[in-house]
A and B are shown apart, each in its own frame.
Chain A
Amino acid sequence: MPEVIRLALVGSPNAGKTTLFNALTGLRARVGNYPGVTVERREGELVLAGRQAVVIDLPGTYSLDPISADEAIVARVIDDEVDEVEAPHGLVVVADACSLERSLLLVAQVMARGRPTCLVLSMIDELRARGGSLDRERLEAALGIPVVEVVGHRGHGLAGLRELCADPSSWSQPAVPPPEDAYERGAWADSIASHVITQPLAQNRLTEAIDRVVLHPLWGTLFFAAVMVTFFQLIFAWAVPSMDFIDGLIGSASAAIHQAMPQSLLADFLADGLIAGVGSVVIFLPQIVLLFAMLYLLEDVGYMARAAFVVDRLMGRIGLEGRSFVALLSSYACAVPGIMATRTIPSPRDRLVTILVAPLMTCSARLPVYALLIGAFVPALQVWGPIGLQGLVLLGLYLAGPLVALAVAAVLKRTLLPGEGLPFTMELPSYRIPTLRLWLSQVGGSAWAFLRRAGTIILAVSILLWLLLTFPRVPVQESLDPAAAASYALEHSFAGRAGHALVPLIDPLGFDWKIGVGLIASLAAREVIVATLAQIYATEDEGTSLRVAIRADRDSNGEAVYSPATVAALLVFFVFALQCMSTLAIMRRETNSWRWPAFAFGYMLVLAWSMSFAANRIVGAIVAA
């Protein structure tokens, strides 16, 4: 007998696999990645009849005949072809009892692999509620493998399953394996189903009734719009108070350190490097928690698949599918939760394309930059009624990002990641009342995954940027006031020198070295450019006085640094450039390599530079005319 029993859960999406996994392992899942693919690897430990056991929660699948590298992982784990994963001793197939005629097709494929297999029938409660019944013993006899009925979220049938799983080698195996041919398999499944289903189940009336409204051409569209507006409102506006609160907390922590400690490098590091770095991680938590609370609620209730169904046609035009829409909408608030939301997209290619264009959506970190530049340089003209020029420019910037995102997605799907890909085949599950416990664990798990996976990278880069903005330290004249001294120190830091070095590259856009430093600092997060410019211009605050200072800035020829052409170029640059290490960090985690974040950074930089150059020339020409 093996020292540790290894079990793998196999089943279609929505079969109740994750509920069973949580019920068995008590939510203690280890999450990682399979080598070479972007599929999440979930394992949990448990004790079965006094012996250690590991359960692998394989990704949901309808078939063991893979049509993508990511899908192939299920078959490869079962066949012991993944080096990092030991072969499971027993395969536990989870099947929805309400759709046995369908589920048996997968059961047949798993059984044909010749490893010890048992079948767990889930959703028995729904089967009974709909007046159906099936004969478990007959099914066991017909299949030749053990069959257990469970209601995962209530724990019914779990004791029997645990007992069974303690010794997979004792499981009965069929005398004749099921057929391998898809058509013969169908006949096999039909004959078994008709033999064991003693009472066919009635339609799910509640689900039918809800769908009549929720998928109605008019009401369904309105309902979808209402859900999306709420969703957007939640992560965009309702997260703001708690984010402001965290921001305030970080600010007072920094101030407290400066006050308590004598002026020193250590105090600067603690206050402006470490605390600010931790802050830039924690600041995302409210949005991430709210996003996942909403996302999992919609998923657990059964609406998520319906939302994807409603918008699929639109997304299909650009080669993506319905589920990409939700991720892109989330990215309007922030690309970090948006990229995490792509996990609901089953096609790895669609998921990757969505991840690659998500940072183009107009995230909330761009707003402070837009606000500063528009407030300082765009005249507050009334264009039409209450609609002003400033608002129109802001609207244009907000729309430019997503439009280009969709265009880039269409191009990527046709060039870099072409091919037929997965067909859009999605199951519409029955509506269910979600369980609080599962929901909380899903939300908590995602928040923790963010802190652990992306937080570490974000913190490290924050500290690195602080070092670049602080060193080397140059002697500052005593006579300078503190603001001017800080400005002087910044100009001579590594970042300041890099800003000067960038000039040949950014001069065509009309940017000087100060903007260069701001761009480097904004790699931490876009809005940091505002604080950095405030430091360079040695202004008291980041509001009015910074606006006055940049408006008054003149180059060596006495011309305004922020000419209309330069301002337009800078705004456009921020529309397209991927200046956000948090996004890069989360991309790295979600795609399991630095290749894709590097690609995204590169293509967005090229896009930003060329668009920015075009904006500079066009606006320059208009002004000259």
Chain B
Amino acid sequence: MDGDLARLSELSPGQTGTIVSVDDAGPIGRRLLDLGLLPGTPVRALRRAPLGDPGVYELRGYRLCLRQSESSRVQVRSA
């Protein structure tokens, strides 16, 4: 497997990756799965808000805003 393991929150805008695992503990973890943040899903970091947080990510055909507190729960392998 190539690419480095990183948190989704660490991807810089324009970078792509594939989700490896999600901290699915608690209601927020379950919700992340329901939003389609699932292992094997390709994801691309689009941009960050002017103040640095939240970020927008493209996955499964839609654009999702996540704060760092949530996006750091997602492990990705960067491409």
* Chain A residues near B (Cβ < 8 Å): 62-63, 65, 67, 96, 98-102, 105-106, 109, 182-183, 186-187, 190, 201, 211, 215-218, 220-221, 305, 309-310, 312-314, 316, 420, 422-429
Contact = CB atoms under 8 A, between A and B. Distances in A.
Interface in B19-72: 24, 26-28, 30-36, 38-41, 46-47, 49-54, 56, 59-67, 69-70
A216 B34 CA distance: 29
B34 A424 contact: no
15 contacts: A65-B31, A98-B61, A98-B62, A101-B36, A102-B62, A105-B34, A182-B34, A215-B47, A305-B65, A313-B52, A316-B67, A423-B31, A423-B32, A425-B31, A427-B62
Contacts of A106: 34
Nearest to B63: A428
Contacts of B50: 215-218, 220-221, 310
Nearest to B19: A186
Q: On chain B, which size bracket covers the interface?
A: 35 or more
Given A309-B49, A313-B51, A314-B51, A65 B63 contact: no
Which of B32, B52, B60, B61 gathers the greatest number of chain A CB atoms within 10 Å? B61
A216 B46 CA distance: 11
Contact of B35 (A102, A201, A220): A102
Which 3 pairs across A and B sit closest by C-beta, in order of nearness?
A99-B61, A63-B34, A186-B38
Contact of B65 (A182, A183, A201, A428): A428
Contact of A313 (B46, B53, B56, B64): B53
Given A96-B61, A101-B61, A314-B51, 17 more contacts: A63-B31, A96-B62, A102-B36, A102-B62, A182-B30, A312-B49, A312-B53, A313-B49, A420-B26, A422-B31, A423-B31, A423-B32, A424-B65, A424-B67, A425-B32, A425-B70, A428-B64
Contact of A182 (B24, B60, B61, B64): B24
B61 A426 contact: no
A65 B34 contact: yes
Contacts of A216: 50
Contacts of A305: 65
B22 to A, nearest CB: 9
Nearest to B64: A427
A65 B27 CA distance: 9
A412 B69 CA distance: 21
Given A312-B54, A423-B70, A186 B61 contact: no
Contacts of B24: 182
A65 B34 CA distance: 8
Given A105-B34, A316-B67, A420-B28, A309 B54 contact: yes
A99 B67 contact: no
B49 A426 contact: no
B39 A183 contact: yes
Contact of B60 (A99, A312, A316): A99
B36 to A, nearest CB: 4
A44 to B, nearest CB: 27
A309 B54 CA distance: 7
B65 A100 contact: no
Contacts of B54: 309, 312-313, 424
A424 B70 contact: yes
A313 B67 CA distance: 9
B63 A427 contact: yes
A215 to B, nearest CB: 6
B41 A186 contact: yes
B61 A309 contact: no
Nearest to A201: B61
A476 to B, nearest CB: 64
Which of A101, A190, A310 gathers the greatest number of chain B CB atoms within 10 Å? A101
B60 A102 contact: yes
Given A102-B36, A183-B39, A217-B50, A309 B65 contact: yes
Contacts of B30: 63, 65, 67, 182
B30 to A, nearest CB: 6
Contacts of B51: 310, 313-314
B33 A183 contact: yes
A211 B47 contact: yes
Contacts of A429: 63
Contact of A428 (B32, B56, B60, B67): B56
A183 B38 contact: yes
Given A186-B41, A426-B65, A67 B31 contact: yes
Nearest to B66: A425
B63 A67 contact: no
Nearest to B42: A101
Contact of B61 (A63, A100, A109, A221): A100
Contacts of B66: 423-425
A441 to B, nearest CB: 26
Contact of B49 (A101, A183, A310): A310
